[in-house]
Amino acid sequence: MSEVREAAGALPGPTGEAQGGRGAQLKHTRLRPGWTTGACATAATTAAYTALLTGDFPDPVTITLPKGQTPSFALAVEQLDAESGTATAGVVKDAGDDPDVTHGAVVRATVRALPPGSGVVFRAGPGVGTVTRPGLPLDVGEPAVNPVPRQMMREHIARVAEENGGAGDVELTLSVDHGEEIARSTWNPRLGILGGLSILGTTGVVVPYSCSAWIDSIRRGVDVARAAGRTHVAGCTGSTSEKTVVAEYGLPEDALLDMGDFAGAVLKYIRRHPVDRLTICGGFAKLSKLAAGHLDLHSKRSQVDKGFLASLAQRGGADTQLAEDVAAANTGLAALQLCAAAGVPLGDLVAAAARDEALAVLRGAPVRVDVVCIDRAGTVVGRSTVR
């Protein structure tokens, strides 16, 4: 999948005022944020279903993102087809200042009414991939439309139906112009997502990526936390992990560091500017890279090492066959699921190994560390002790 960096606080909140803490840290980059494919698909879906029910396309079309922002999108495509009973709308993706391979792509949604009780049925149109291997948060055979964008589209379809007397039962076909060609520049083919791109996003907002600006913002985040007297901070890889540490530890916003892929930047700066405790929280697969000794967790610079996961699994009691299956797994999530079924605590083993790597980078600085691994839904799948 193409890399997407997201953050709830990258834009002003619903009140229009800039957010503090993590949002202020991200604002420090001064790069223009953009919209995920999931947000664009939701906008196109909302416009298409409105037109199907009313005959008119709202342009611009406004949607509500998970964190309350209400961006508006201009339509690039409008098509009502009475013969097929469908409506199609398209939005050009604007990734802001992020070097996203999908920037400028046209994301289309085509809706067709289904019998009552059908719900929302997702289809992969041209340029949207189909899942062909296990280990992803979608069943084999499903369109590569991730869970949060699916929920966003369902909610907006329900809202349009309520406002315009519809039933909300539709077939929704998503497509991306030239998506199959663009997908060759992503990890989709290796993950078994064939035929095109994935529709991604957890907040709807893409935070632009700049190594130097991002690392500088991490340092400022640590400075702000220390100045506020925070003794426990958390390095989070994204918005889902941020929610997890808030739920687990009740940390205030200015104790949250948007680490992204830069685990090394957090550890090296905290080594020079210590706090009493550091929690690192992120997706299992991403933190397995830290466990294996990688300090830059970006997919272009480090990969999940299934052989390493297999060796950890053996330490946790996996037999030879399970270790071989882990080494051959399609994704880190698939490896985790194999071990969970066998009662091998791979998540805890990864968290402990990641904590030990973090402590090695801290080189004896007076900082206690623990690591929490989560899945895409934010469920804790592994944790280490504090050391």
Q: How far is CA 169 from CA 118, 158, 164, 232, 293, in A?
A: 5, 9, 13, 47, 49
> What does the alpha-carbon distance between residue 376 and residue 147 come to, in Å, rounded to a whole number?
9
Q: What pLDDT, on a 0 to 100 scale, did the predictor assign at position 28? A: 63
Q: Give me the percent of the chain exceeding a pLDDT of 90.
A: 70
Residue 255 has pLDDT above 60, yes or no: yes
Residue 3 has pLDDT above 70, yes or no: no
pLDDT digits (tens, 9 = 90+) for 198-244: 998 878 877 666 566 677 778 878 888 898 899 999 999 988 999 99
Domain ranges of the chain: 22-206, 211-383
Q: What pLDDT, on a 0 to 100 scale, did the predictor assign at position 213? A: 63
Give me the CATH code for the 22-206 domain, please.
3.30.2110.10
Residue 16 has pLDDT above 70, yes or no: no
**Which one, of 66, 70, 57, lies nearest residue 109 by Cα?**
57
Residue 9 has pLDDT above 60, yes or no: no
- Is the pTM higher than 0.75? The answer reads no
Positive or negative torsion for Cα 294, 299, 300, 306: positive
State both tokens at 11. 């834009």
Q: What pLDDT, on a 0 to 100 scale, did the predictor assign at position 11? A: 35
> Average pLDDT for residues 254-261, to the nearest whole number?
88
Reduced to 3 states (helix: H, G, I; strand: E, B; else coil), residue 52 is helix
State both tokens at 136. 């992803």
Which region among 169-178, 187-196, 360-369 has the lowest average model confidence (pLDDT)? 187-196
The partner residues of 107 in beta bridges, in order of sequence, read 91, 176
Q: Give me the percent of the chain exceeding a pLDDT of 70.
A: 89
pLDDT band at 23 (very low <50, low <70, confident <90, very high): low
